[in-house]
Amino acid sequence: MNELIKFTQEREMIVFLPRELDHHSAASVRAEIDSALFSKEPKALVFDLSGVEFMDSSGLGLVLGRYARASVLGIPIIIRNPTPRQERLFTMAQMHKMVKIEKEAKNDEKAAK
């Protein structure tokens, strides 16, 4: 993983989640995400899943925990570019009601895989 967090000109905070998103890797990125969230107070918190090849319920937990913090600050959460399998997990946990799930058109190479 090269870069975990990026800010856009529109003040979106984009988090590029690790390739294998499990309890172990979630624990290693949590603190950095929270510290950036509270210090920068972005307009939106985006979790980009383009690089995620594996995700289990710990990925859901990571997003849920950030949702709890972001909603206090009034910051919406966006899940960007999940695979159908990843999207199913979010739906199973009823999280599609809390976060916005969106796909970027330019990310064709992932869909083609």
Partner 1 sequence: MKKPQNELRCTFVSNSCNEALARGIATSFLIMLDPTAEELADVRCSVSEAVTNSIVHAYRGTSGEVAMILRSYDDGTVKITVSDRGCGIGDVEQARAPLFTTAPDEDRSGMGFSIMESLSDKLTVKSALGKGTKVTITKKLSSKKSSPT
Residue with tokens 């890797």: 25
Residue number, 41 or 56, with CB nearest to partner 1: 56
The only residue of 72, 74, 85, 108 in contact with partner 1, by rule CB under 8 A: 85
CA angle 85, 88, 91 (to 5 degrees): 160
Interface with partner 1, residue 89, by CB under 8 A: yes
Query: Radius of gyration (Cα) for the chain, nearest Å?
Result: 13
Q: Phi and psi at residue 94, in whole multiples of 5°?
A: 65, 20
Residue number, 5 or 89, with CB nearest to partner 1: 89
Interface with partner 1, residue 57, by CB under 8 A: yes
Distance separating alpha carbons of residues 36 and 12, to the nearest angstrom: 12
Interface with partner 1, residue 69, by CB under 8 A: no
Residues that bind partner 1 (CB under 8 A): 20, 22-24, 26-27, 30, 54-58, 60-62, 64-65, 85, 89, 92-94
